[in-house]
Amino acid sequence: MGINISSFAAASAIVLFSVLGMSLSWASPTDKKADGGLDTHGTINGASELAARAYAVCEKADALVSQLDSMKDNPDKWSGKAISDMSGQLFQADRDAKHLTLMGEPAGADLAIQVSLLTKYLHDFAVAIRSTRQGQKLRQEFDVKLTRAKPKLQKFIEKAQGFFQAENYETFNKGMEAKGVELTSQLAFFTSKEAERYVLNYYSVLSQGTTKVSDVRRDQYVAQAKKAASVQAVPASEFASQARRVVSEIGTSAKAALADGAIGDASEAMAYLVSKWESASAGLIRASAIDFAFRLSDGSQIDGEMSQLKSDAQQAIVQLIDAAASSAQASSVRTLHAKMIDQISVVHRRMGNGSGQWVAECDAALIKLASKEAGFAEQVAAYRRATAEPLSWRQLFSAQQSKQVQATVKTATGLMAEKTEVQSSLRPSYHRSVPGPKTIAPTRLAEPSSWIMDEAGARLMGQRVFEPMARRLSPTSKVGMVPYAGNHYAAVALPVAADEQASDLKASLAIAGSQPPLTIEAADAISRSVLGDYEGFVAEVKGVTMESPITRFITLPDLAYLLVPLGELPDLENQSQAMQEICWRLDLQPLWADAKNFTVKSQ
């Protein structure tokens, strides 16, 4: 979603774009798309169509200004009619950009920048053509038209004021905008002072009306946004009651009703609750982004809801293990134990730092479960003692290797913040960049998005970078994510083949055949190697996409909750500049990875 340059592996790209809701046309390994503009999140109906219309006008205006610039020494060959028509269209595009901003759409900020630049350059050509015979003729023709139209304009303004006084603001606005397009086209070759004799009080009425229309629309859109945010928060509000039911049923009968009428045991119930937690977290992330885009609040309520959800989910999982310990048959303990520690290890990684206490609580509950089978708890304790040192040495070695590698490769965040010379650019001939180094991947819009995207992509593609972690979307997915931080996130082609290292790890943990790991720590080591959940990795940049973080998180699919640690909300920074914020996605092909218990190179 956004403007993209990519040579990401086709299969991985298709999976990613499907997950994140992006256009599949960008999945081609040879794609070099860097034009267009920012996508919309569509919280308010009609935003996508409005943005498409305005971007289309900007594209045509850019083509016209480029054409005029190519003939700048021969103004007699310019098309005065084209300048006139485009002036009116840019008037409407400017109005559309402001409307999109009211709709909470960052595309509005991008369009406002483009329209402002194009209007300036087109005006310069309109001024230059005045001295030509064509320009003088057009001035005479429009002078006659505008003078003759003044009585009709007076009646039009009076009628529009009637709509305004009757609080029929949308009808007022629609008519005034259409008239503005017409007047702006006809006034393109006149000075502001000259225009005053033709327009009566049109612009003062338009200004007054626009203020009121904006206020009314803002109130409407805020109400719609509040409703949209509340809908996204529903799964979180329902989680605790669902969890209580599931835990109660497991404690009573060792079985619980799950999704779509299915009945499952405690391990399946845990997977069900984790899935509900992930979906509810994604919903709160979307709600938070809507809240941020429309400035609905200071965000503290949604922060509290996310914290409560995390607490409820962690507590429910511990209680579920306790419930299983009270109801499970001794013959099922080993199977339940193995499946549960595997799930807990994955959830622990998804939460990131600060969840050690929760893991300890899970461990205590798991000891109760293991005690249901004679001698099993003692076997687990012995296994823990036997595997603690091998895991510790493995992790120490991997950490040292990772430290050495980090010293030779720039972090993605560091590289993107560097200033370098721009070697190639989409910038048109009529607007050249100021000479000198420029930030590779800016954090805010200050120029048209397509220019920024092209210059960033050209300098990032093919670079090697270090990222601190990767988390695979699902066991069957070909893609993992680097969580959002520092105005970027990444999609990673996973896993890196590590069969030999994984086999060696299993041997060191006494895992063979049907013998599973017996501790969360050992399960973590194995599930990392299977999933490709890395603690650090070096990769080549295969694709670059520029988005708005607001749009990214409002449209976030449930599966992509991994863009932030489970149980947390994204940091969207300064609300006063929300519409100008830029979010970058890097598509990465791993070359080397630290799986915490071993390191691996890509073949």
Q: Is the Cβ–Cβ distance between 591 and 470 less than 8 Å?
A: no
Supply the pLDDT for residue 575. 60
DSSP structure class, residue 588:
E
Amino acid at 219: D
Token reading at 500:
């030999």
Evaluate whether residue 462 is within a structural domain: yes
The answer to whether the beta carbons of residues 93 and 51 sit under 8 Å apart is: no
The 10 Å Cβ neighbour count of residue 141 is: 13
Task: Let me know if residue 375 belongs to a domain.
Answer: no
Q: Is residue 281 part of a domain?
A: no
Nearest to 460 by CA among 481, 439, 477: 439
Cα distance between the two ends of the chain: 31
Output 506 or 128, whichever has higher pLDDT: 128
Q: Report if residue 118 sits inside a domain.
A: yes
Specify whether the CB–CB gap between 360 and 520 falls below 8 A: no
Residues forming a β-bridge with 493: 479
**pLDDT at site 32:** 43
CB of 545 closer than 8 Å to CB of 31: no
Question: Given a cut of 80, is residue 512 above it in pLDDT?
Answer: no
Q: For 40-52, give the secondary structure using H, E and C.
A: CCCCCCCHHHHHH
513 in a structural domain: no
Which range among 274-283, 417-426, 522-531, 570-579 has the greatest average pLDDT? 274-283
pLDDT tens figures, 133-175 = 999 999 999 999 999 999 999 999 999 999 999 999 999 999 9
Burial class (CB in 10 A: 0-12, 13-18, 19+), 556: buried
Q: What average pLDDT does the segment 477-502 reach? A: 90
Distances (CA, A) of 198 to 136, 371, 378, 555: 17, 92, 94, 47
Q: What is the DSSP string of 411-472?
A: BHHHHHH-EE--------TTSPPPSS-EESS-SB-SS-HHHHHHHHHHHHTT-EEEES-BEE
DSSP string, 137-160: HHHHHHHHHHHHTHHHHHHHHHHH
- Tens of pLDDT, residue by residue over 449-478, are 999 999 999 999 999 999 999 999 988 889
Residue type, 218: R
pLDDT band at 30 (very low <50, low <70, confident <90, very high): very low
Q: Over the stretch 491-500, which tens digit does the pLDDT of each residue have?
A: 999 888 888 8
Looking at per-residue pLDDT, the higher value among 573 and 41 belongs to 41
Q: Angle formed by the axes of helices 333-351 and 266-294, to 10°?
A: 20
Type and span of the H or E element at 125? helix 107-129
Domain membership of residue 77 as a residue range: 47-199
Is residue 1 within 8 Å of residue 551, measured between CB atoms? yes
Residues 6 or more apart whose Cβ sits within 8 Å of residue 62: 114, 118, 428
583-594 and 536-547 as β-strands: parallel, antiparallel, unpaired?
A: antiparallel
Q: What is the pLDDT of residue 511?
A: 79
The pTM (predicted TM-score) of the whole model is 0.93
Beta strands per DSSP E along 230-319: 256-257, 263-264
CA distance 29 to 11: 9
Residue 450 lies in a domain: yes
- Looking at residue 498, its pLDDT comes to 84
Count of domains forming the chain: 2
Among residues 376, 546, 359, 362, the alpha carbon closest in space to that of 448 is found at 546
Q: In 3D, which of 474, 483, 495 has the Cα closest to residue 586? A: 483
Query: Can you give the three-state secondary structure of 332-371, one letter per residue?
Result: HHHHHHHHHHHHHHHHHHHHCCCCHHHHHHHHHHHHHHHC
Q: How many CB atoms lie within 10 A of CB 311?
A: 13
Contacts of 206 (CB under 8 A, 6+ apart): 176, 180
Q: Is the pLDDT of residue 34 over 50?
A: no
Average pLDDT of the chain? Answer: 92
For 441, the 3-state DSSP assignment is: coil
Give the integer Cα–Cα distance in Å for 316 and 336: 16
Listed residues 199, 233, 265: the one ending a domain: 199
The conformation of residue 409, written as its DSSP 8-state character, comes to: S
Lowest average pLDDT, out of 53-67, 105-119, 330-344, 416-430, goes to 416-430
The model's pLDDT over 225-278, given as tens digits with 9 standing for 90+, comes to 999 999 999 999 999 999 999 999 999 999 999 998 899 999 999 999 999 999
Q: What does the pLDDT look like over 542-554, one tens digit per residue?
A: 999 999 999 999 9
Pairing of strands 256-257, 464-467: unpaired
Residue where a domain stops, chosen among 199, 216, 241: 199
Given a cut of 50, whether residue 518 has pLDDT beyond it is yes
Task: Report yes or no: 221 and 294 within 8 Å, Cβ to Cβ.
Answer: yes
What whole-number distance in Å separates Cα of residue 166 and Cα of residue 356? 63
Give the pLDDT score at 513.
67
pLDDT grade for 574, boundaries at 50, 70 and 90: low
Q: Average of pLDDT values for 347-368?
A: 92
Q: Regarding beta strands 583-594 and 488-493, do their DSSP bridges make them parallel or antiparallel, or are they unpaired?
A: parallel
Backbone angles phi, psi at 514, to 5 degrees: -90, 0
Cβ atoms 467, 482 nearer than 8 A: yes
Average pLDDT over residues 563-579: 85
Is 1 a residue whose pLDDT tops 90? Answer: no
What tokens does 57 get?
Answer: 């006008």
- Please state, as a whole number, how many other Cβ atoms lie within 10 Å of the Cβ of residue 66: 14
- Burial (CB < 10 A; 0-12, 13-18, 19+), residue 584, is buried
Residue 110: inside a domain, yes or no?
yes
| Cα dihedral value 301, 306, 308, 309, nearest 10 | 140
Query: Are 279 and 235 a contacting pair, CB within 8 Å?
Result: yes
Check residues 424 and 394 and name the one with the higher pLDDT: 394
Q: What is the dihedral of CA 91, 94, 99, 105, to 10 degrees?
A: 150
**How much is the pLDDT for 21?**
53
pLDDT number for residue 36: 67
- Estimate to the nearest angstrom the gap between the alpha carbon of 83 and the chain centroid: 37
More confident residue, 397 or 475: 397
| Across 357-373, average pLDDT | 96
Is the pLDDT confidence value at 487 over 80? yes
50 near 99, Cβ under 8 Å? yes
What is the pLDDT at residue 603?
Answer: 72
User: 116 vs 49, 62, 110, 113, 122, CA distance in Å?
Assistant: 21, 12, 10, 5, 10
Q: Which of 183, 199, 215 is the last residue of a domain?
A: 199
Q: What percent of the chain has pLDDT over 70?
A: 94
The answer as to whether 243 is a domain residue is no
113, 446 contact by CB (below 8 A): yes
